[in-house]
Structure 1
Amino acid sequence: MIPEFRTFSNSVENPIVSLLEKYRGSEFPNHDELILNSGGPVTDLSGYSFLPCLQSVRILFFEPLSETDLDNSSALQGDIKLGNNNLLTVLVQKYNLSGWDTVNEYQVETLEKAIKIAESLELPYQNIADYPILPGGFTGILGYDLNRWSVGINLDHNPQDGTLLGVLWRSDAWWIHDREADQLTIISVPNHPWLEEANSNGLSIMENNIFSPLESFSVPESESDASHARKVDTIKESIRQGHFYQLNYGRKWSGNMPSHPWHAFQRMMEGNPSPFASWLYVHDHGWSIASASPERLLKTNKGIVSTRPIKGTYPRGNSLEEDRNLQVEMVSSEKEIAEHLMLVDLKKHDLSKICEPGSVHWSDFRIEALSTVQHLVSGVSGKLISNIDFGKIISALFPGGSITGCPKIASIAAINEIEESPRGAWTGSIGHFHSNSGISEFNILIRTLESHSGPNQWHGRVQAGGGIVIGSNSSSEVEEARWKAAAITDSTWGFRTGFSTEELPKRDVEILPIPEIEGPINTLKLKSPHTRSNIGDIIRGDSDISFPTDVLLIDNLDSFTENIANSIVKLGFSVRIVDGRPKSHSDPNTKIKYWLENFTPKSIIIGPGPSRPEQSQITMEIAKLAVEGKIVTDGKHIPVLGLCLGHQALGLAVGWDLIESPKGAVHGVPSIIKHDNYGLYTKLDSPLILMRYNSLILIPKNEFMICDAWDNEENLVMGIRHPIFPVFGIQFHPESVGSPQGYELILSFLEQEPVLIDPISNNRQVRRP
C-alpha cells in the first residue's frame, strides 16, 4: 500500500500549532489532540514537527481492579517483589461523529502484548519516499506507571483502580513540518478528508497566538526542601548498603491553574523550546500533557535503534565565559560523570536485548545546553534483530533508565517506596510507531506539566528531580530539581520554583563538544560496532538445550548483564544467560546440576546485581561449589569468574567478611586498578583503568583465596583467585564503557583452561570454612 501526499511551502513561524488551531476552530480543544513539536534551533534532533489526525482508532490502557498486597518488605533494603499478577485492561475504540465506541476489551499480562493489539490494527503502508512518519501507525502516550507490565514487578503505591495509564491513536493522516526546508507535507491514506481539503483549497493558515508570561498567580504545593534533602540522604544510605547504584527521585509541585493548560504549553514553546516537546489532550477524560522534553527514549529507522540518555546537569551561566567554565566544572565532576556513564552502560544493556549481538555501541557524547540548564548527553545505538515487533522494542527500554536509576528493576521498586505515590505521565513517553515500516520515535516526559480538569478549573502537577548517586549533595539535589522545574512552573503558575528573587538566565540553545580535561575520563573512547565474522551467539533462558554454550552467565537482576554477554560474543564465544534470581523458587542444586549436564558450558560467569550475594541462592551455591572444586564437566573443573556480586559471593563462600567499603561506595567511576601480574593479569598492563560499581568490599579472613588486585592505594581488594582451581573474582566491570582494556581481561578469563579433577585428592585438598 502506498500513501498519498502533497507538499506546500510554509509562511508562518509554527505551522503545526497553527494547523491544530485551524482544525480546532476555537480557543480551547473540544476533541482529542496531539502534536509532536520540535523547537529551538534546527539540529540532528529537531528536524521535524508533526500533527496527526486522531479520528480513527483509539486504544486505552487502564489500571486494573486489584488489591495491593502490602507487607513489611522494603526495596530500599534490597527486597524486590518480582512478577506482576495483575492484568492490564485494554479497550479498543472506534471514532464516530459523536465520540468513541468501545469495540473490544482485553486483559493482558505484558506491555508487549498490549502493543501487539495496536500492531494488529496497523495499516501496512510502504515508505517509498523516505518520510519520517507514515499513516496507519499509532501515536500517543505511555504513562510511567505502565512500567509494571514492561519490567515485571509488583509495587505498593499504584494508581487508583480504573485510572487511565496511556492512550494510543491510529493516525490515518499526518502533517509534517520539515523545519530545515521549511516545508509542510500532508501524508495520508487515500481520500482522507485532510488531504482532500488541502488538494481543493490549498494551504491557508494564520500565525498562532503566543501568550505573554503570567503574573504570579499562586505558589503550588510541594514538599519542603528539608524533606527533599532527607530523602536524598535515605537514598544514599541504601546505595552505601549496595542495594542500587543510582536512583532518580522526583519532587512534585501541584495546584489549581489560572488558565487552560494549552496556554501553559504555548508559554513553554516561547520560553523553553525543546526538540521533543509535545501537547496531548484526551477530551472525554479531562487529561492533558504539556511537555518541553529535551530527551529521546528511542528512535528506530531502517533497522537501527538509537537512544539518547541525558544525565549530568549544571545551570547555564550569565555569560559565554561563565557558561564554558560551568561546562568544564560539570565534566570534571566525578559525581556528574558517574551519573552519566552508568546510564550509558544501562542503555547499552537495554538495547542489547533487542539488537544483533555485538552491534550495540556508544556513538556520541556531547553537551546540550538548553535555555536554563545544560546536560551531558550520549547516543547509544545498535542494529535491530530482524523482524522484531515494536512491542518487544519498547518493552526493552521503557521506562527510560535515565529517569529510574540503576539497576533498573531495583531502582523502580525503591522509587515507588520513597516517592509513596504513582508518577502518572511524568517520565513516561509520548511518540509514534509504525511497526510495518520499522519507524518509531518516543521522548521521555521530563520538563512536563500533567493536568486534569475539575469542576471549575484545571489542576496541574509538575515533577522534577535528579539521579542520586553516592557523591550527591542533598542541598545541591534540591537546587537541581528547582532548576529543572523552573521553566515549567513559570509557564503554569508564573512561579519559578523559588528563584523569584534571582532569575535564572535564559540562554540560546547550543550543542557543544565535551571539553578536554585531565584524568581517567580522557581514556574513554566511543566504540564502533563490532564487525568480526566469527561473532558468537546469545541464548536467553534454559529451556532450549540444542544450542552450544561456551559461557553460562548468571543474571542477578543487574542492568549490565547484556553488556557482559555482548563482550563475550564479540570475542567469538557463545553465551547463555540464565536467571540467578528467578521469579519462582527452585532448588539451587537441582538447577545448577541441570545446567551443567545439559549445557556442558566451558566456563561460568556469576554476574553482578543489586544488594548482597545472599539474595541469590543460586549465586551462593555456585560460589560454594566453585571453591570446593565441584563445578565439573567431563571430569574437569571449568573456569568460574565472579563479577562484582559474584566476586563477593566467592569471598563469602570461603568465610571472608563482606562490609560497607571503609573508603565509601564507588559507582560509575573509571578507577586505577593494580594487580600482581598473575592469573587473569599475566598479559595485561599494570595499572589498569577499569570501571567500578561497588558499595561493599571483601575482608580476607584466611588463605583459601589469593588477593591479586587492589585499588590505587592498595587498601581494598579488587581481585581474587583460587590457589588450585580456575576460579577468579573481580570487583570491577570490564564490560563497561569506562574500562578501556576490559575486553582483554574478559578474553584472558575465556582462555583459561579447565583443571583435571582427581576426586580422591580433591576431597583432601578442599576445606570448607
Structure 2
Amino acid sequence: PWSGRPADALRDAFAEAPLPAWNAYGWIAFEFAAARPTGRLAHLVVPRTEVRIAEGRAHIGGPDADRVAGLLAEAAPVAGTPSPVDVRVDGDAYRAKVAEAVAEIHEGRYQKVIVSRRLDIPHPVDVIATYARGREANTPARSFLLDLGGLRATGFSPEVLATVDADGRVMTQPLAGTRAFGAGAETDARSRRELENDPKEVFEHAVSVRTALEELHRVCDPGTVQVTDFMTVKERGSVQHLGSRAVGVLAPDRSPWDALDALFPGVTASGVPKPEAIEAITRLENRRGLYSGAVVAASHDGSLDSALVLRALYSENGRAWLRAGAGIVGASAPAREYEETCEKLSSIAPYVVPLA
C-alpha cells in the first residue's frame, strides 16, 4: 500500500530494491497525473534476463542467457499481412468535442488541451507482427512492444518525454504542430512550409515549450535550463512536427523520478495549464490508460529514459484499439483537428495485422 504522489511510491520502491544493480522497464498510465488517480497507474518490472541490441548484435545477460540465446537462434521471421484500419470514422462526435474545447478556451478556462478519439478494431490483432510491419514504415524517437499485466501494446513514439543520465542531465523534446508527411517530395515540402508559417501551429508549439521550461526549472539547478533546439521540423512516419529540445541539470535534492513527475504527462499530450487541461480531458473523454502515458526504462545508476505513448496499438481483454489526438487552442478549426487525428492514426493503422 502507498499514499501521496505516485512518483514518490515508485522512487521509494526502487530505493528498496534488493539487487545492487538493476534495470527496470514498464509503462505509466495517463491517470498517473490525475488529481484523484484511479485504476492501474504503472507497471514496471526488473527482468531476470535482458537482451540488448546494439550495432546489429544482441547482448544477452542474466541467469537464462543460454536458453534465450537458443531461442533467438531458432527464431523465424515474423509473418503476417496487414489489414489496414479505416481511420475516417466518428468524425461528427470528435468535431463536436473540439468545438466544446474551443468554447472553453475562449471562456478562459485553459489555453490548450489535447482532445483524442479512440478507434476500436473489430477483430483480435497480432501485436508482434503489427510492430514488425509498422517499424519498417516509421521513424520514431522510440519504439516499443510490451506485454505486462494483461495489457499488450506496440507503438512508434514520436517524442522523448524525459531522459536523465547518470550525471543528472535532463532532456525533454516537446513536439507540437503537425502536418501530413509521405505524400511525395513536393507535397511534403509544401506541407512543411505551411507548418512553419501557420500562426496556430507556431503558437501551440511555443506555449508547449514554455511549459516544458517551467517544469524543468522546478527540478533543475538555476542557470542550467536552456533550449538547445527550437522549432525545427521532425519527420515521424506519416506526419511531420515542429520540435524543440530543452535541457537542464537536476538539483542535488532531486531524483530522476522527480524529473519524470515534473514533465508528466507530456504537455503535448495534455495541455496548458496542465491541471486545468487534465481536468478537461477527464470530462471530454473516457479513461485514457496507457494512451499519452509513457514507456519507461530506469536503472540503479540514476539514469532514466521515457517516451510518450502515442502512435500505438493497444490490446486487452480480447479487444484492440488505436487512439490519437490533436492540440486544441483558441484558433483551432474542428475539421482540421479531425484531419490531424487521421494523419497521426495513419502511422499505425495501415500496419495492423489480424491474429491468425
Q: Normalising by structure 2, what TM-score? A: 0.90
How do 1:116-135 residues align onto structure 2 when only pairs under 5 Å count? 116-122=11-17, 135=21
Counterpart Cα distance in 2 of 1:370 and 1:304: 25
Q: What CA distance in whole angstroms lies between the structure 1 residues aligned with 2:178 and 2:113?
A: 15
* Counterpart-to-counterpart distance in 1, 2:228 and 2:312: 28
Alignment-derived partner of residue 342 in structure 1: 207
Higher relative contact order (CA 8 A, sep 6+): 2
The question of whether the paired residues in 1 share the 8 Å contact of 2:29 and 2:294 is answered with: yes
Structure with the higher helix share, 1 or 2: 2
Q: Match of 1:429, as an amino acid?
A: A
Q: 1:141 matched to which residue of 2?
A: 27
Contact kept in structure 1, 2:28 and 2:290, CA below 8 Å: yes
For 2:252, which of 386, 396, 407 is the aligned residue?
386
Q: 1:449 aligns with which of 313, 322, 325?
A: 313
1:292-347 deviation digits (Å, cap 9, x = unpaired): 11211111112200001111110115322322222111101111111111111010
5+ residue gaps in structure 1?
A: 1-105, 126-134, 495-769
Residue of structure 1 aligned with 2:340, choices 480, 485, 499: 480
2:32 matches 1:166: no
Note if contact 2:256-2:303 (Cα within 8 Å) is conserved in structure 1: no
Structure 1 residues 414 and 215: alpha-carbon distance in aligned structure 2, compared to 1, 3 A threshold: closer
Residue correspondence of structure 1 range 22-171 to structure 2 within 5 A: 106-122=1-17, 135-148=21-34, 153-154=35-36, 163-171=39-47
Q: Deviations over 1:230-268 (max 9, x none)?
A: 221111111112111111000110133243322322222
Please state how far the C-alpha of 1:372 moved relative to its aligned partner: 1.4
2 CA distance for matches of 1:493 and 1:209?
15
Partner SS state of residue 14, structure 2? helix
Do 1:122 and 1:170's aligned partners in 2 also have CA atoms closer than 8 Å?
no
Q: Which residue of the partner structure matches residue 278 of structure 2?
A: 412
Kept in 2, the 8 Å contact 1:309–1:347? The answer is yes
1:26-425 to 2 correspondences below 5 Å: 106-122=1-17, 135-148=21-34, 153-154=35-36, 163-179=39-55, 182-186=56-60, 188=61, 192-195=62-65, 205=73, 208-215=76-83, 224-282=90-148, 285-301=149-165, 302-365=167-230, 366-419=232-285, 421-425=286-290
Give the secondary structure class of the aligned counterpart of 1:487.
coil
Paired with 1:317 and 1:289, the residues of 2 have a C-alpha distance of: 25
8 Å CA contact 2:140, 2:237 repeated in 1: no
Say if 2:175 and 2:242, in contact at 8 Å, map to a contact too.
Answer: yes
- AA of the residue aligned to 1:286: G
Deviation at 1:424, TM superposition (A): 1.0
Conservation of the 8 A alpha-carbon contact between 1:175 and 1:185? yes
- Measured in 2, the distance between the counterparts of 1:288 and 1:197 equals 24
Counterpart Cα distance in 2 of 1:229 and 1:204: 47
Q: Percent identity?
A: 24
- d(CA) in 2 for partners of 1:233, 1:197: 56
Note if contact 2:164-2:256 (Cα within 8 Å) is conserved in structure 1: no
> 2 CA distance for matches of 1:471 and 1:173?
50
CA distance in 2, matches of 1:215, 1:281: 22
Deviations 1:120-152 (A, max 9, x none): 233675xxxxxxxxx51321111111112xxxx
Q: 8 Å contact 1:346–1:401 — kept in the other structure?
A: yes
> What SS is found at the alignment partner of 2:82?
coil
Whether 2:320 is the aligned partner of 1:460: answer yes
Alignment TM-score, normalising by the size of structure 1: 0.43
Structure-1 separation of matches of 2:215 and 2:111: 17
For residues 347 and 160 of structure 2, the distance between their equivalents in structure 1, rounded to whole angstroms, comes to: 19
Q: 1:360, 1:195 → 2: CA distance? A: 42
- Asked whether the equivalents of residues 124 and 437 of structure 1 are also in contact (C-alpha less than 8 Å), the reply is no
Give the Cα separation in 1 of the matches to 2:174 and 2:225: 14
Distance 1:211 1:471 in 2: 45
Q: What CA distance in whole angstroms lies between the structure 1 residues aligned with 2:347 and 2:70? A: 37
1:210 deviation in Å?
3.6
1:559-638 equivalent positions in 2, closer than 5 A: none
Q: Measured at CA, do residues 124 and 397 of structure 1 come closer, stay the same or move farther in structure 2, by a change above 3 Å?
A: farther
**Cα distance in 2 between the residues matched to 1:493 and 1:202:** 27
Secondary structure in 2 matching 1:353: helix
Question: In 1, distance between residues paired with 2:219 and 2:48?
Answer: 28
Say if 1:398 and 1:266 are closer, same or farther in 2 by CA, change over 3 A: same
Structure 1 residue 448 displacement after superposition:
1.2
Provide, for residues 71-107 of structure 1, a one-character-per-residue CA deviation record: whole Å limited to 9, x for no partner: xxxxxxxxxxxxxxxxxxxxxxxxxxxxxxxxxxx13
Query: Distance between the aligned counterparts of 1:259 and 1:448, measured in 2?
Result: 13
Alignment of 1:435-446 (within 5 A): 436-446=300-310
**Counterparts of 2:157 and 2:126 in 1: how far apart (Å)?**
20
State the alpha-carbon separation in 1 of the partners of residues 112 and 323 from structure 2.
Answer: 18
User: How many residues are treated as equivalent by the alignment?
Assistant: 352
Deviation at residue 195 of structure 1 after TM alignment: 4.3
Give the RMSD, CA atoms, in angstroms: 2.5
2:17 is paired with a residue whose SS is: coil
Distance 1:484 1:379 in 2: 21
- Letter of the structure 2 residue corresponding to residue 239 of structure 1: I
3-state DSSP of counterpart to 1:426: coil
Deviation at residue 431 of structure 1 after TM alignment: 1.6
Q: Secondary structure at the match of 1:211?
A: coil
Q: Separation in 2 of the partners of 1:208 and 1:307?
A: 37
Q: Alpha carbons of 1:493 and 1:251: their partners in 2 closer, same or farther (altered >3 Å)?
A: farther
Contact 1:223 1:252 in 2 (8 A): no
Q: Contact 1:137/1:172 (CA < 8 Å) preserved in 2? A: no
Q: What is the one-letter code of the residue matched to 2:26? A: G
